[in-house]
Structure 1
């Protein structure tokens, strides 16, 4: 009996530290669509396509370091059955860092705070109706060489990312933070409001640009309304392409498992030949369960340069999203 008790005690003492170190979590999402894709410009294509939309797989976890401090990590890859940089795999967020009561510090490849500030405004993310398709200076950036801090105080969240250019000062910045992205967001019940700005400097004095985003969403019962304003240029060496964005999104439940959604964004720039763009998307989502949903949608992206139609792309089809 004593031997059995001793064995149980030893096993229990070994199990405690093992339980303290959480096992890595494997997760992912498969997002596929099938529909008619049309390029309405002269000589454009009109065909049916099966597409993968940022389908992904990843691993994440944390390790308790004691005294309220944890080590964190996340490595995520985009998986595309059609194409990719390496046999169908592209890099997404990949970082390691530290977490405590004071917030988080992350090092690696990461979404900018300006990108994260959109919150739940974009109702057609990863599809042809994604807000990044509305214009050139979209702010939806995921960058390498990021040192990011994320913090929270009450209903306020804030984030800042420093990105060295890792250049020689002529062809690229050579400072500790040639690009800076920062955001502050307030969330209280149905209200979410965020302000963010990216600043770019190539350090040789040839270009210093910035991009500013203001976004808000508000939930009223089964409805959500979102507003987006954005202005500026993304990238240190981009000149003469400032864009002004205005966008609205709307979503409402039409039954227990079905929702209607719509999104409209206009973009104008300040180039010599005026360029105007619009993105319009409508759709219906169906929720099978917590991790499986389907949708039907229509989207149209138009762009005019002067009096010439430079782009007129449409999509009409259905999609399926499975998370694991």
Structure 2
């Protein structure tokens, strides 16, 4: 934020201090700064009615509202320095600490591809593209599937795109000297945003990825397991109709125990309305969601959705403690999203 304010202040000072004949040149510099530095974000606020464990309650949800700054600087040898700093803004939090770190990295881009270091989504998480029609809501894939990880100490490489094919890898430096370093690798075919192509297919795999499980009894301690995840995602767009499917396989490295799951969804655009439905199943739990978005403008929409989710839990082979995978509940929300 300070960086953006400094740029604005410098631009205003330049406009006030330089002669009129230099206005065009100043305008060109200002435009160059805007091309290099991008301040962005979105606010997504909803009123949600929830029912969990037989109790009903209403709440205001922030739905991963965020703010960030990203940019690039041209370097010698046809290289470009790139960076991104993003924070989640918890507008419904009464505490003073309302910012949470999201993707934050710096790197280099060139003919070889792109290399970044810092806090990043793993390749497996990125491999879903725009598959999740209820991302950041109660039907978000992360509530049933294991593997939606954003990790620090990450070194990420993206290859150049060749005939719609791209390779992505993430290597994470572990803080545990006794554990093997996790890594994530994937192959993408098509455009994950479904803008340059009408199709997208990806295969991704995590290895030794640490995941913390929440115990059913709040008096028990949480447990961290190293997992191996494999995910296959496919999407295809037929005009205004979009279909998607995903298959996942998750294995606990230490025990070899594995679970499989799948998700399928569809959306259809009717004028300014996007109708959507999504079903997800994993390890004895399932979730079904229906909803609709209505575009009020390029960066503004209102929406409503309903989710019915069955919960489940697992028992550790070592200590006999039950750990939660998903909480059972029914949820309904109406809200608004504003991007900037």
CA 201–110 in structure 1, closer or farther in 2 if over 3 Å, else same: closer
Q: Deviations over 1:221-253 (max 9, x none)?
A: 11000000000137x66x465321111010002
Please give the alpha-carbon distance, in whole angstroms, between the structure 2 residues aligned to 1:288 and 1:10. 40
Residue 271 of structure 1 corresponds to none
State the distance in 2 between where 1:106 and 1:317 align. Answer: 37
Q: Name the counterpart of 1:3.
A: none
Q: TM-score, normalised by structure 1?
A: 0.81
TM-score, normalising length from structure 2?
0.78
**Alignment RMSD (CA, Å):** 2.8
Q: Where does 1:122-133 land on structure 2 (aligned, <5 Å)?
A: 122-133=132-143
Contact (CA 8 Å) 2:37, 2:69: kept in 1 or not?
Answer: yes
Counterpart among 29, 34, 37 of residue 24 in structure 1:
37
Q: CA deviation at 1:304?
A: 4.5
Q: 1:91 aligns with which of 85, 101, 111?
A: 101
- 1:168: how far off? 2.5
Q: CA deviation at 1:158?
A: 1.5
Whether the 8 Å CA contact 1:20–1:64 is kept in 2: the answer is: no
> Gaps (5+ residues) in structure 1?
1-6, 269-275
- Name the structure 1 match of 2:74: 64
| Equivalent in the alignment of 1:252 | 268
Structural mapping, 1:176-195, within 5 Å = 178-187=181-190, 189-195=197-203
1:100 offset after TM fit, Å? 1.1
Equivalent residue, structure 2, for 1:112: 122
Does 2:280 match 1:265? yes
How far has the Cα of 1:211 moved from its partner? Answer: 0.6
Is the contact between residue 123 and residue 249 of structure 1 (CA under 8 Å) also seen in structure 2?
yes
Is 1:37–2:41 an aligned residue pair?
Answer: no
- Conserved in 2, the CA contact under 8 Å of 1:248 and 1:265? yes
The residue aligned with 2:5 is: none
In 2, Cα distance between equivalents of 1:84 and 1:241: 41
CA distance in 1, matches of 2:64, 2:168: 25
Following superposition, the deviation at residue 305 of structure 1 comes to 5.9
Q: Is contact 1:260-1:285 (8 Å) kept?
A: yes
CA contact (8 A) 1:52 1:81 kept: yes
CA 1:96–1:84: 2 relative to 1, 3 Å: farther
